Structure 1
Amino acid sequence: MCRTGQSPEPGDGQDVDATNTVFTSLLEDSAEELYEQAPCGYLSTLMDGTIAKINSTLLDWLGLERSRVVGRMRFADLLTVGGKLYHETHFAPMLQMKGEVSGVAIDIKAATGRRMPVLVTSKVKTSENDEPLLIRTTVFDARDRRAYETELLRGRQAAEEARRVAEEARRQSEEARQAAEEARRQSEADRVRLQEALAALQQSLLPSQLPEIPGLEADSYYHTASPDLLGGDFYDLFPLDCDRWAFFLGDVCGKGPQAAAVTSLARYTLRAAALHDADPVTALTTLNTVLHERYASGEGRFCTVVFGTLEPGDGHVDVHLASGGHPSALIQRADGSADYLPTPGGLLVGVMPQAPFTAARTRLLPGDTLLLYTDGLTEARIGPDRRLYGDEALRAFTAAQPAQGPKALIAALGGLLDSFGDGLDDDTALLALGVPAPGAPVPLPTTASDHLT
């Protein structure tokens, strides 16, 4: 033991040397053990790559004996084919230029042929004269990292595939949307063309223009419940001879092309019958026979009709009419009253081989107007309870209008029909005939398109 200010006693130097020797040996043993059993691989190679030293950890990874490696193999021999190529083209040149390469990902090859991903760091050990002596290399197990990277890659690929699928779905959805939009546009264009064709056909079933009758004013209105369906309502006003005129207004059961065919047949049959015999009952009887014979063998077709004649006189017009199951005509008088002209007992036209029809007569004086209408008007649904508008409401409405002639009455009724909105779900035809009051302006001719809605 050393004492301060004193020389060592005999024998003290030998004890210190012995202690240092033991300590050095222990350090060497510890360093060697750490080197051999380190969690990462170590190896030292000569400058040509020949392995001079390798630890047990790396040998275990490779599955090789030390005797087969040290002095017999080069570092590049431990690598896979791809690893060798990378070592020759990148790793070795970089190491030669920089003297150190850190964290390079590469694959080594075990004796069984199994690949093992590793991270390699190499550094050139030099002499005091900076002469390269050897290369020390550290090898880290990168299997967990590789698995993590693989999982990340798999996740990225899955995300990319999901994105591609979503993009494809979006593209297909857009194509479907565009196709649907094109189909909608085409459908709308077809619908417009159909409506135009139906409107033209509907107008062909109505008089293009009401004739001018001396001493008489006439006006009409046609409301189409659906622009996509042909209606079965019809009316007409035409001359019989130089002194008399005929008129009719009717409603065919049903809608569509079949109803239009019956409408056309009824219209031209009544015109022909009136020119042969203008008696209203006779004209309706002829129409009944034609419709029954035409449709008796198949699906029955029938209609309701009011047919009449007008004979203007000195300051008045005599009306003679008959009804086949049709709502009674309504007369607005110049004194502000409004009453129905009863025609009871008339049967639907075309139902039976022989049908009774009831005739009636009246006289229109200046300021009086005769109104014919189809049941779309009186059967409209109004109010929160959707009740029928009805005959009495129509009579009251007409009586409340100023007695200013057919045009004024038709205009008021057109506004009434518009007020029903979706409560008016059936076609409605109106025909008004009247004697102008003294001093009333001369009415302009009316065309079918003027009051076709």
Structure 2
Amino acid sequence: MCRTGQSVPEPGEEQHVDATDAAFTSLLEDSAEELYEQAPCGYLSTLMDGTIAKINTTLLDWLGLDRSGVVGRMRFADLLTVGGKLYHETHFAPLLQMKGEVSGIAMDIKAAGKQRMPVLVTSKVKTSEDGEPMLIRTTVFDARDRRAYEQELLRGRKAAEEARRQSEADRARLQEALAALQQSLLPATLPAVPGLEAGSYYHTASPDLLGGDFYDLFPLGTGRWAFFLGDVCGKGPQAAAVTSLARYTLRAAALHDADPITVLTTLNTVLHERYASGEGRYCTAVFGALEPGDGHVRVHLASGGHPSALIQRADGSADYLPTPGGLLVGVLPHAQFTDARTDLLPGDTLLLYTDGLTEARTGTDRELYGDDALRAFTADQPPAGPQALITALSTLLASFGDGLDDDTALLALGMPATQPTTANENPT
């Protein structure tokens, strides 16, 4: 008698079920063995002393060895290269003993044909129920693709490093060339002028770009001297070409006729004719003539779109010498320029500068430094002559840091203060 819902196997059916289960179990065993032997990675089991007890066909094929010559006859370390064996004995085996498992360690095995084959090794200690270590199961992964990838990365890194070094060397040579070219556009030293002191300074905002600021001081003959300071629009080789042209044009024009307006008019004609058909090049400039006299120096100058000269007087005051209305040099075929005259007395200093100074950004709000701040700064300096004022201004420029993003040229001219006669001196 049977319970409702349960079926009773027919005669012979029970025997058929048992046969199916046995076949299925056998199939699983065959599949597991085949998977072990033909796996895409190497497998082996070793005794605790490293003797190989079991190894799959994949690893044997990599090694080029027969199973009979490996199982029970070799240790895992025997499969490694000399360097791999040393690393196994000093690092891998002790770490495995301490932790019971080591994963993804890079080694080299002695592959078929005496080739070195890079592999990644993972080993785990299998223990008995009472915790005693029984054997070590190891998986060996083919790392040839990874090694090739790493070597390619290394070659790429070395190539990039070499390119970086070459770039730095090229940059250094370029900066040297730019510095040499920049210096060729400025006088190496200012000449000594009888009865006059002179000082100059040039600040380069970027060592990678040629600036367009320029200045000079040179004799005109018969005791007269000429000076100029200017700023070419733009930077780089094109600006340098304009700077060179402007500098030599001003010198040549002054030797022909040193009247400041005439000199600037000549420069305007040259620049406009040279660059009018292209993208246009122009500059701002101040040109002047000095004529030392008895106890003073007469100054006659003209400006073409340039900031007004600043005079520091011997009494400590400072003010601008206005030259309003002067146009940029080289923009129009006929330009108007403005001149001005003054006398420098003992202790007075005439300062010319480019707008990199007054357009520097200062403070947290990045405001322009400006003309008023420059006048106040100059008035705060003791009237100790051109070089002292240039030194103070160079320190000021350095204090602007990255707020000074344009080249700046300074030229200061002055008459030495009269030295008082001491009690030990016998006047003649």
TM-score interval for Structure 1 and Structure 2 normalised by the shorter chain: 0.5 to 0.7
The offset of 1:166, in angstroms, is 3.0
CA contact (8 A) 2:351 2:412 kept: yes
Show the 5 A alignment for 1:21-420.
160-161=141-142, 163-420=143-400
**CA RMSD in angstroms, aligned pairs only:** 2.5
Once residues 363 and 263 of structure 1 are traced to their aligned partners in structure 2, the CA distance between those partners, rounded to angstroms, is 29
Once residues 229 and 261 of structure 2 are traced to their aligned partners in structure 1, the CA distance between those partners, rounded to angstroms, is 14
Deviation digits for residues 301-351 of structure 1, max 9, x if unmatched?
000000000001112111000000000000011111110000000000000
Amino acid at match of 2:214: F
Percentage of identical aligned residues? 78
The offset of 1:178, in angstroms, is 1.5
Local SS of the residue matching 1:343: coil
Q: Cα 1:158–1:198, aligned 2, differ >3 Å: closer, same or farther? A: farther
Amino acid at match of 2:264: L
Local SS of the residue matching 2:141: helix
Once residues 241 and 261 of structure 1 are traced to their aligned partners in structure 2, the CA distance between those partners, rounded to angstroms, is 28
Once residues 219 and 245 of structure 1 are traced to their aligned partners in structure 2, the CA distance between those partners, rounded to angstroms, is 15
The offset of 1:104, in angstroms, is 10
Q: Does 1:430 align with 2:410?
A: yes
Once residues 373 and 166 of structure 1 are traced to their aligned partners in structure 2, the CA distance between those partners, rounded to angstroms, is 63
Q: Hey, what does 1:34 align to over in structure 2?
A: none
Deviation digits for residues 132-186 of structure 1, max 9, x if unmatched?
xxxxxxxxxxxxxxxxxxxxx999899532x333333222222222111111111
Local SS of the residue matching 2:180: helix
Deviation digits for residues 85-141 of structure 1, max 9, x if unmatched?
xxxxxxxxxxxxxxxxxx9999xxxxxxxxxx9xxxxxxxxxxxxxxxxxxxxxxxx
Q: Cα 1:347–1:239, aligned 2, differ >3 Å: closer, same or farther? A: same
Q: Give the greater-gyration-radius structure (CA).
A: 1
Once residues 258 and 335 of structure 2 are traced to their aligned partners in structure 1, the CA distance between those partners, rounded to angstroms, is 18
Q: Cα 1:178–1:314, aligned 2, differ >3 Å: closer, same or farther? A: same
Local SS of the residue matching 2:146: helix
After superposing on structure 2, the runs of 4+ consecutive aligned residues of structure 1 that deviate more than 6 Å are 103-106, 153-158
Q: Hey, what does 1:421 align to over in structure 2?
A: 401
Once residues 105 and 203 of structure 1 are traced to their aligned partners in structure 2, the CA distance between those partners, rounded to angstroms, is 77
Deviation digits for residues 405-430 of structure 1, max 9, x if unmatched?
01100000000000001110000000
Once residues 329 and 423 of structure 1 are traced to their aligned partners in structure 2, the CA distance between those partners, rounded to angstroms, is 23
CA contact (8 A) 1:238 1:246 kept: yes
Once residues 189 and 179 of structure 2 are traced to their aligned partners in structure 1, the CA distance between those partners, rounded to angstroms, is 16
Q: Cα 1:167–1:339, aligned 2, differ >3 Å: closer, same or farther? A: same
Once residues 415 and 260 of structure 1 are traced to their aligned partners in structure 2, the CA distance between those partners, rounded to angstroms, is 26
Once residues 270 and 181 of structure 1 are traced to their aligned partners in structure 2, the CA distance between those partners, rounded to angstroms, is 48
| TM-score of the aligned structures, taking structure 1 as reference length | 0.62
Amino acid at match of 1:258: Q
Deviation digits for residues 380-423 of structure 1, max 9, x if unmatched?
11111111011111111111011000110000000000000111
| TM-score of the aligned structures, taking structure 2 as reference length | 0.66
Local SS of the residue matching 1:410: helix
Once residues 356 and 263 of structure 2 are traced to their aligned partners in structure 1, the CA distance between those partners, rounded to angstroms, is 24
**Which residues of structure 2 form unaligned runs of 5+?**
1-28, 30-52, 57-66, 68-118, 123-137, 421-428
Once residues 296 and 334 of structure 1 are traced to their aligned partners in structure 2, the CA distance between those partners, rounded to angstroms, is 45
**Which residues of structure 1 form unaligned runs of 5+?**
1-60, 62-102, 107-116, 118-152, 441-453
CA contact (8 A) 2:120 2:141 kept: no
